[in-house]
């Protein structure tokens, strides 16, 4: 039961951590810390229906803490090795556009990609927003991403 629970939720935790622009190793630390926090707090959690929201909230808080710790250690910023891999111009434009999105949009779209099975209610709980706002917010985020990708592509063509 526990291995299946971990398998089912780990991709979601990774998506949340990576939405904070953490490099691979920092995101791995955040995900691991989240599982440790769950083990520590499991006896105190009373509502099993809210467990996924608790995991996402804890991952968000740990991600924020990790960013603060990393900024203190490396004020210039850490480089994610994955971002150094060569890609085509289209991939670069998409990556730049995605990184230009507000944190909430990055988190929502990353959750949708990495955990497409989440319902709007679960997304709302994970993102601390009203369930009725999820669809409209997602549409706005996708439209914003689309316009940013187009701008990035135009910039690449004019360069």
Reported as a single tens digit per residue, the pLDDT across 15-40 is: 888 888 888 889 999 999 999 999 99
- To the question of pTM greater than 0.75 for the whole model, the response is no
- Which residue has tokens 């904070």? 20
CB crowding 34-45: b at 16 or more within 10 Å, else e: bbebbeeeeeee
CATH of segment(s) 86-159? 1.10.10
Fold matches, 1-84 and 86-159: no
Per-residue pLDDT of 143-155, as tens digits, reads 999 999 888 877 7
Per-residue pLDDT of 120-143, as tens digits, reads 887 887 787 888 999 999 999 999
Structure tokens at 74: 């490396």
The enclosing H or E element of 74 equals none
Domains of the chain, by residue range, sit at: 1-84, 86-159
- Domain 1-84 classification at class level: mainly alpha
In this predicted structure, the answer to whether residue 59 has a pLDDT above a threshold of 60 is: yes
Per-residue pLDDT of 69-78, as tens digits, reads 877 765 444 4
pLDDT given for residue 76 in this prediction: 43
């Amino acid at each position: 039961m526990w291995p299946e629970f971990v398998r089912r939720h780990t991709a979601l935790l990774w998506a949340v951590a990576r939405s904070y622009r953490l490099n691979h190793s920092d995101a791995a630390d955040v995900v691991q810390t989240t599982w440790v926090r769950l083990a520590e707090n499991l006896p105190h959690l009373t509502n099993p229906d809210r467990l996924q929201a608790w995991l996402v909230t804890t991952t968000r808080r740990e991600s924020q803490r990790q960013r603060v710790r990393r900024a203190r250690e490396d004020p210039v910023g850490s480089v994610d090795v994955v971002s150094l891999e060569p890609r085509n111009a289209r991939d670069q434009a998409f990556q730049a556009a995605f990184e230009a999105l507000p944190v909430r949009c990055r988190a929502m779209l990353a959750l949708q990609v990495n955990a497409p099975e989440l319902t709007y209610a679960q997304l709302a709980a994970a993102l601390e927003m009203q369930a009725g706002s999820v669809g409209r917010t997602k549409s706005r985020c996708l439209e914003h991403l689309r316009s940013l990708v187009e701008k990035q592509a135009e910039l690449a063509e004019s360069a």
